[in-house]
Amino acid sequence: MSMNRRSVVKAIAAGGALVGASVLMPRIAMAAWTTKAFEAEDQATAMNELLGGAAEESAEVTLKAPDIAENGAVVPVTVSSSMAGVESMSIFVENNPNPLVAEFLIPAGTDADVSTRLRMGKTSKVTAVVKANGKLYSASKEVKVTIGGCGG
Amino acid sequence: MKKGLIIAAALAMAPTLATATSFQEAFESNRAMHGNDHVFEWKGGKYHTNHEEEMEARVKATKANAADLLAKAKAKNAEVAKLGFEWKLTGDILKDAQKAIDEADYQKALNLAAQAKYHARIGIQQYHYAQKNWHLSVPE
Amino acid sequence: MKIIKTLALGLTVAAVTQMTHAADTGFDMQTVDPEADRIALQKYFKSRFPESDIADYVNGIYAVDAGSREQWEELEEFPPYEFDVEKGEELFNTAFANGKGYADCFENGGVGIRQNFPYWSKEEGTVKTLEQEINECRVSNGEEPLKWGKGAIAQISAYMAWTSRDKVFDIKIPADDERAKAAYLEGKKFFYAKRGQLNLSCANCHVQGTNIAIRADLPSPQLGHVTHFPVFRSKWGSLGTLHRRYSGCHKDSRSKPLKPQAEEFRNLEYFQSYMSNGLVANGPGSRK
Amino acid sequence: MAKGILKVKAKASGDKTKVKLMAKHIMESGQRKDKKTGELIPAKFLQELKVMHGGKEVFAANLGTAISKNPYFAFNFAGGAKGDELTMTWVENSGATSTETAKVK
């Protein structure tokens, strides 16, 4: 997962405007933020750019998300897996403008169990992809986003 | 014969429809079903389904007439505002009416002013209804 | 439209038949009985939602709707208002230019007193709310008043609510001042009066309409309505005061909202808070 | 130290440490329009977050614009004791970055 050229350029440009090297350092030390994956507009491309392939559904991946989101701006989601050797867990919202929401890197010793809150523009399938022992496994769920009546 | 049937039906459905025999109810249901400019019969008389404000707007579309109706609408809205029952959109409708006058679209101004005045009148009605009947919605 | 009218008519007629039962809760100065109202309201919700515990109504809609409760509990794992409570504490403890502070304006230094608001002020002959007194504190110390709806005033109010968590609401209607009872009655009347283009009263949605979807929103129960304010609403993406919510609700019925802290709104808050007597203060809250 | 944007609740329980953290950040998606000007508000969001404990990485995330305003994450890691320090480093898409610390309770 090497840093692609565009994000290096962006990092240098931004870093240069701030404090230079000291700002840049931790960025390089971190796992790269994959521009192509995060900016992809369809899920298959995003998944391929991020993880290098498609995932197969697995009962060992658990995606906890509401059936009907109270508010699309804050949808609580938990991804977990009972598998050993989990390296990363990623979340995709198929109908968002950019389907890739986040990628969590799970070092050895950390549970494959992460909660977060995400934005959904409209009703969509939400997919969690777990990378374990170099393979990709997924679980999906449809989350409905509705328009409220009480705007005030 | 036909009339008798209707009355029988109304009685059968009482009390839900009991008050529907008032002129107000006859007017509202005809208005809801047929819109404005519809003629209906009630207790032997013939009536149209237009709001009084719609009739007020049926004057020559001149600047003076539009300004006159707008002034009346504003006064009515001030009245309902004082009672705390002003509707949300009325202020903007009044503004749009003024804009239409400024753009010399007097028919549009008349229609908007009539709409605003209607809103204000119903708001006042709401206030008086609430004074008398608010307690009816208190649950047991 | 017609259907709605007919329905409304049906409801009105149904309400008339109830009137004889409801009459003992009082609709005028002679008969109004706040304590009877409060007990009647609790009974109403107990019969509507037998599974829900009365004490749980401080959690609003989540007391009666399991589906949204689960998401709310996830949010409460790390509530979105925590930054605001922190900021509120900082603001609360920042001295005014004259060296005094909010603590000087309130009983017990402003700590643990949320449950006593609003209260009837005999001297001023009006209902006083917490936000009102926060601003009065500022003005009397030579500071500019804060805007009512959101921002600093909501944060200070949130901090004060935070220090009052689990204290029991005990709103009093002094028997020696008829005007207090009149203010309560006005608040009650406001709550039950239909208004706006949609011809809705607060009660239509928050008593009869509790947990019945308005498009995708489930109206909260009137019981416990005020206990958790100020509230961080996901819809707002920020913290807001009770009167900000009143304005919003008012707009939703297509009324032109009254100004925050208008006498009508303060009377409404007085009535609603009295209805929550016996429940605990649990503000600030998070809502959808 | 300048006040950070992270609020961390880390609690050691048994052989694990449970971490819940929230960042005070707008997470501007770049897809919202300014209500007044009608122009798109440029994206401004947290892109990366890393949590270290005792020199070892225990959590890292790469984030997109669909993470909610005031991003929230919860996870558990093995080890950790009351009083230990966690070090969090975040990077914004602007390139701005900072490192903050918090204690395990």
Consecutive 10-residue runs of chain B (140 residues): their mean pLDDT?
A: 35 39 86 90 90 91 95 96 95 97 96 96 94 82
What DSSP string runs through D23-83? E----B-S-PBPTTT-PBPPPB-EEEEEEEETTEEEEEEEE-TTBPSS-EEEEEEE---TT
Report the percentage of chain D scoring pLDDT > 70.
98
**ipTM more than 0.90?**
no
Would you say C269 and C226 are in contact if contact means Cβ atoms under 8 Å apart? Answer: yes
Using CA atoms, how far residue C140 sits from C96, C104, C109, C132, in Å, is 11, 11, 16, 12
CB A136 within 8 A of CB A46: no
* D53 within a domain of the structure (yes/no): yes
> Is residue D64 included in any domain, yes or no?
yes
The C-alpha of D61 sits at a distance from chain C's nearest C-alpha, in angstroms, of 18
Per-residue model confidence as pLDDT tens digits over A98-143? 999 999 999 999 999 999 999 999 999 999 999 999 899 999 999 9
CATH classification of the domain holding D59: 2.60.40.10
Beta bridge partners of residue A105, listed in sequence order = A88, D60
- CA dist list (Å): C184 to B130, C179, C278: 17, 9, 17
Q: Encoding tokens for residue A109?
A: 């010793």
- Among chain C, residues having any CB pair with chain D shorter than 8 Å are 77-78, 80, 82-83, 86, 237
Is residue D1 domain-resident?
A: no
- The answer to whether the CB atoms of D21 and C82 lie below 8 A apart is no
Chain D touches chain B, with at least 3 Cβ pairs below 8 Å, answer no
Pairwise CB contact (< 8 Å): D70 & C77: no
Break chain A into its structural domains and give their ranges.
33-145
Q: Phi, psi at residue D36, to the nearest 5°? A: -85, -50
Chain D CB contacts of A105 below 8 Å: 57, 59-62
Range of the domain at D61: 6-103
pLDDT in tens, C51-69: 999 999 999 999 999 888 9
- Give strand pairing partners of A61: A81
Domain count, chain D: 1
Q: Which residues are registered as beta bridge partners of D62?
A: A103, D48
pLDDT at residue C110 greater than cutoff 50: yes
- Domain A33-145 - what CATH class? mainly beta
Angstroms from D44 CA to nearest CA on chain A: 13
Q: What is the pLDDT of residues D53-101, one digit of tens each?
A: 999 999 999 999 999 999 999 999 999 999 999 999 999 999 999 999 9
**Rounded Cα distance, C138 and C148, in Å:** 13
Joined together, the tokens standing for residue C185 give 């009655």
Predicted TM-score (pTM) of this structure: 0.84
Give the closest residue to C264 by CA, choosing from B82, B87, B92: B82
Closest partner CB to C217 (pick from A75, A78, A148): A148
Which region, left, alpha or beta, applies to residue A109 given φ > 0 means left and ψ of -120 to 50 means alpha?
left
A15–D95 C-beta distance less than 8 A: yes
User: CB contact, 8 Å: D20 with chain C?
Assistant: yes
Residue D70 to residue D23: CA distance in whole angstroms: 5
Is the link from the previous residue into A97 a cis peptide, with omega within 30 of 0? no
Cβ within 8 Å of residue A118, ≥6 positions away? A75, A77, A91, A93, A101, A102, D66, D67, D68
Q: Which domains, from first to last, does chain C contain?
A: 2-79+173-287 (1.10.760.10), 82-162 (1.10.760.10)
Residues in A closer than 8 angstroms to C71, CB to CB, are 66, 69-70, 75-76
Smallest Cβ distance to A119: which of D59, D62, D68? D68
CA dist., res. C205 & res. C145, Å (int): 33
Known catalytic residue: C249? yes
Distance CA D2, CA D25 (A): 16
Q: How many CA atoms lie within 13 A of C104 on its CB side?
A: 12
State the Cα–Cα distance between residues C109 and C122, nearest whole angstrom.
Answer: 22
Model confidence over C195-251: pLDDT tens digits?
A: 999 999 999 999 988 888 887 788 899 999 999 999 999 989 999 999 999 999 999
How far apart (Å, rounded) are the C-alpha atoms in residues A49 and A45? 6
Helices assigned H by DSSP within chain C: 2-22, 34-48, 66-76, 82-92, 130-140, 152-162, 178-192, 202-203, 242-252, 263-275
